[in-house]
Amino acid sequence: MTLRIYNTLARGLEEFSPIEPGHVRMYVCGMTVYDLCHLGHARSMVVFDVAQRWLKAGGLRVTYVRNITDIDDKIIRRALDNGESIRSLTDRMIAALHQDADALGIERPTHEPRATDYVPQMLGLIGQLEQRGLAYQSSNGDVNYAVRKFDGYGKLSGKSLDELRAGERVAVLDGKHDPLDFVLWKSAKPEEPAEAQWSSPYGSGRPGWHIECSAMSCALLGESFDIHGGGADLQFPHHENEIAQSEGASGHALARVWMHNGFVRVDNEKMSKSLGNFFTIREVLQQYDAETVRFFIVRAHYRSPLNYSDAHLDDARAALKRLYTALGAVPRPADVSAIDWTQPFAARFKAAMDEDFGTPEAVAVLFELASEVNRTKDAALAGLLKALGGCIGLLQGDPQAFLHAGAGVDDAAIDAAIAQRAQAKAERNWAEADRIRQELAAQGIVLKDGPGGTTWESAADKAGALS
């Protein structure tokens, strides 16, 4: 079966074949690094990690770019509030992002460009747009994109200019020719630090958010590439504006396929920092081991809403435990270095994944295979279970370690580690404090910080009591 992917631009499933045979070029919008990543960010990272793993499992070479936005209004404001430099804040948050992503088993992208390293490319792209009559400098020094001069604006989101025209009732501010126009280059403001300013033909300033991704994707993947991904909230205006910028400058289609993952929801509302209903990855990892969190994300289809609750994570832990129980029942599973995709379980797994990365159906196959492993204790089937799980970043740990995480631990050693962590926090050595917590989490030890100090419990015992 040929891989089919839901293309947001076409509003339907399409057979996928890369522009360059055997080589997939994929760009995914990454994080704006002014704070710790929350579970919504985790979902996007896991979703596209699974996608690139499956593409590789199909024998394709993948060049995967996930950018970092390290200059932005929120970043400047947070750095000023903290009394630290922008670079200090963004370096710290990028290190935290990597720790969280590594914990969740997310493979590092091929390239992880920082926006501030690509300002010359952004200015070059703005110059191209200006030459084509699609960009203009306003009276306040900003450079804006003239939306109405780009045919096809709204084709990704399905929004027409007529639908967006309601904004015209609002007075045109900041010298824009039209309320729909968006900023490409922001002129420097007196209150902004010097490190947030670059020289340009338009005066001192910094890039707008949308132009960053257009410049970085073009620089690393070319004017046209195979897959552009991100959260559903980026479809409009961010991705719509990327299309307008990139295609307005080059005259070529930016991406062949547009993929968007669904929201993580809490009480039927999107999890987001603006709503204040978010849980950071680190907060969740204080209660649940990282593979359980990954499994919780993977067993839902990437385009569907994902409802967050302790009950759902408890259920995910219990379900994952059943898969590891099957692996643990076979002392020496076969080493499956190359999966035989004609094998019935493997063929059904592949059919599920080839239908728009259908992880729920693929996980169902894993459970059926686990039942067969439990019944037969067959080493070849156990090896296949582990190999198929590996295609989506699961079941690569030691079964006994997972099943007995937290059992028979040295209480004194844990207490000593907690004391070391408390000392690191007192010295504001957050990296060391996080390292200790992550190390304990890997052993199945969940820390809970409270007014009376830090307590701990075994994640395995908690899940076992609920399963």
**Structure tokens, 191:** 């209150």
* Domain residue ranges of the chain, discontinuous segments joined by +: 4-261, 266-402, 406-458
- More confidently predicted of 271 and 421: 421
Distance CA 235, CA 11 (A): 13
Return the CATH number of 266-402, one of 1.10.1070.11, 1.20.120.640, 2.60.34.10, 3.10.310.30: 1.20.120.640
- What are the tens digits of pLDDT across the range 72-98? 999 999 999 999 999 999 999 999 999
Q: How many CB atoms lie within 10 A of CB 410?
A: 9
The strand pair at 445-450 and 453-458 is best described as: antiparallel
Report which of 74, 67, 165 is spatially closest to residue 117, judged by C-alpha positions: 67
Q: What is the pLDDT of residue 276?
A: 67
Considering the domain 4-261, what is its CATH architecture?
A: 3-Layer(aba) Sandwich (3.40)
Map tokens 């996608």 to a residue. 51
- Residues in the annotated binding site for Zn(2+): 29, 213, 238, 242
Q: Are strands 182-187 and 143-145 parallel, antiparallel or unpaired?
A: antiparallel
Binding residues for ATP: 273
**C-beta neighbour count of 250 within 10 angstroms:** 17
Those residues with Cβ within 8 angstroms of residue 365's Cβ, 6 or more apart along the chain or in another chain: 345, 348, 349, 352, 388
Instruction: Give me 137's structure tokens.
Output: 């400098």
Binding-site residue set: 29, 213, 238, 242, 273
pTM of the model: 0.85
Three-state DSSP at 454 gives: strand
Tell which residue, 310, 320, 299, has the closest CA to residue 397. Answer: 320
At residue 266, does pLDDT exceed 50?
yes
pLDDT tens string 287-342: 999 999 999 999 999 999 999 988 999 999 999 999 999 999 998 999 998 999 99
